[in-house]
Amino acid sequence: MIFYFKSLLVFFFLFSIVTCKSQIAKRASGSLEIINDTTFVNLKDYSQDFVYDMKYATEDNFLKSKVYDCAVCYLRYKTVKALIQANQRFMRKGYKIKLFDCYRPLDIQKRMWKIVPNPEYVANPSKGSIHNRGGAVDLTLVDLKGNEVNMGTTFDFFGIEASHGYLNFSHEIKSNRNLLRRIMAKENFKSFDSEWWHYNLKSALIDPVSNFKWDCKN
């Protein structure tokens, strides 16, 4: 009996160690897997409720250049969980998240820096950004018909009007920005003062810069 209880205690101890580092994740397909919070995953594998307009996989961006080989949103799993929770809150209010950019491999950051070597527009790859850590997202809101909510400026507008502190807007625009920031904050995302579209998951600050790359064939 003593041996049985000792074995049971060892089992629960080992189980607690595993669950601290990993957890059971449910994919959009309904299948289950054990996954670490810092693993890079494709958002589409865990939710079909997002809208995508991945700007840097096109030439429709301030770089005027396509820097991603394909339009995919990868993030660390903990960022995906928080983003899904935020999106569920928005959907209850009649909106969905539309994504412009997600995780950005360091090689892509270097490519962007080579095109526009200006820290006012592109983070210096020598330090890396939260995008390179898998914890940053660029986004806006759309209504359930897919129409973008008026945020006052377009994505990647580099002017004072893009900042959260700019108040010379209509009540509607200020309310839209406040809604976005308020709900994202509830899921532990921090806004970026000069860019209304940029949000960092707070816990991502401790994660290392990564050059993980996905397979565009999948």
Indicate which residues carry an active-site annotation.
Answer: 195
d(CA 131, CA 139): 13
With beta carbons less than 8 A apart as the criterion, state whether 66 and 159 touch.
no
Whether 189 contacts 201, CB under 8 Å: yes
> How does DSSP classify residue 70?
S
Residues 6+ apart with CB under 8 A from 6: none
**Residue 156 to residues 4, 35, 38, 55, Cα–Cα distance (Å):** 62, 33, 27, 10
What's at 103, amino acid-wise?
Y
40: Cβ–Cβ under 8 A, 6 or more apart, which residues? Answer: 74, 75, 76, 77, 103, 134, 210, 212, 214
Residue entry with tokens 């940029």: 198
At residue 174, φ and ψ (nearest 5 deg) are -65, -40
Q: What ranges in 93-143 are assigned the alpha helix state H? A: 106-115
Collapse the DSSP code of 194 into the 3-class scheme (helix H, G, I; strand E, B; otherwise coil) and give the result: coil
